Amino acid sequence: MRAALVQFTAGDDPAANLARLRPLLAEAAARGAGLVCTPEMTNCLAPREVLLARAQEEGADPVLAGLREEARRHGVWIAAGSLALRLPGEARLANRSVLIGPDGEIAARYDKIHLFDVDLSPAETWRESEGFRPGSRAVLARTPLAALGLTICYDLRFAHLHRALAQAGAEVILSPAAFTRPTGEAHWEVLLRARAIETGSFLLAAAQTGEHGSGRRTHGHSLAVGPWGEVLLDMGREEGVGVVDLDPGAVAEARRRLPSLRHDRPFEGP
């Protein structure tokens, strides 16, 4: 299985973001990728008030429509890392991953469960829950390529979600992100490697990178990690496409060597 990670710097204009994505998707397909992964907030990365003003419902979102066209054009699976989408009758948006098949049809949807409400410093505070409604359901998508577990960004810090996906059969867990620079420099790689080791899964993490306006900077370093915790690909901070070959047999081998997914035991609380 050949997968591609698309790393780019999304802005607040969905049309411009789609125009930037199209050649990157074409490059990924030309390099033989069967699965192409994009970052969190692929359609629009902007302050909350801008997102609330510009977001469309799923059926009207122009970036999603464009990604479906590209999936059909190139005959590839596209994992739209996440899109900010309006929900009917809701004041808040969905932060939604959308998995698109090579026929352009939507194969799976996942709404981010864990929302980024943190105070990183006196000058940097994030309240994702003020603009987004949290999801409530873990999603495993079984495809001809692999069984894919869907997560988004801050979900990476919640090991039990990844464990549940692996125990349900996930071989590859997708972790699209727009990690901040401070948390990315401190925790990004170690968290991805930990989740891969704990679950014996491949982790594919397409990330936003660079300066996005309004003072927001993202970490980049899109990573592919193997089920033994080895870093297979690190894209640094440049925009572009990274390609990696995944051996499905490596998942079975890692889980055979360390079968911890079968060793859960009940215990009393502290």
What would the pLDDT profile of 127-179 be if each residue is shown by its tens digit?
Answer: 899 999 999 999 999 999 999 999 999 999 999 999 999 999 999 999 999 99
Cut 0.85: pTM above it: yes
β-pair type (77-86, 106-111): unpaired
User: pLDDT under 70 in the chain at which residues?
Assistant: none
The number of domains in the chain is 1
Structural domain range at position 50: 2-258
Task: Choose the catalytic residue: 70, 112, 128, 171.
Answer: 112
Classify 130 as helix, strand or coil: helix
Active site residue 112: yes
Task: Choose the catalytic residue: 37, 44, 70, 153.
Answer: 153
Instruction: Give the whole-angstrom CA distance, residue 42 versus residue 9.
Output: 9
| List of residues 6+ apart from 59 with CB closer than 8 A | none
Residue 60 backbone phi and psi in degrees, to 5? -110, 0
Assigned domain for 266 exists? no
Active site residue 37: no
pLDDT score recorded for residue 56: 97
- Beta bridge partners, 2, equal 245
The CATH number given to whatever domain includes residue 16 is 3.60.110.10
Instruction: Give the whole-angstrom CA distance, residue 62 versus residue 58.
Output: 9
Chain-wide mean pLDDT for the chain?
Answer: 96
Assigned domain for 23 exists? yes
pLDDT score recorded for residue 211: 94
CA atoms within 13 Å, Cβ hemisphere of 96 = 21
Task: Choose the catalytic residue: 40, 70, 128, 171.
Answer: 40
Assigned domain for 264 exists? no
Residue 30 backbone phi and psi in degrees, to 5? -65, -25
Please count the other Cβ atoms lying within 10 Å of the Cβ belonging to residue 214: 10
Classify 214 as helix, strand or coil: coil
Active site residue 268: no
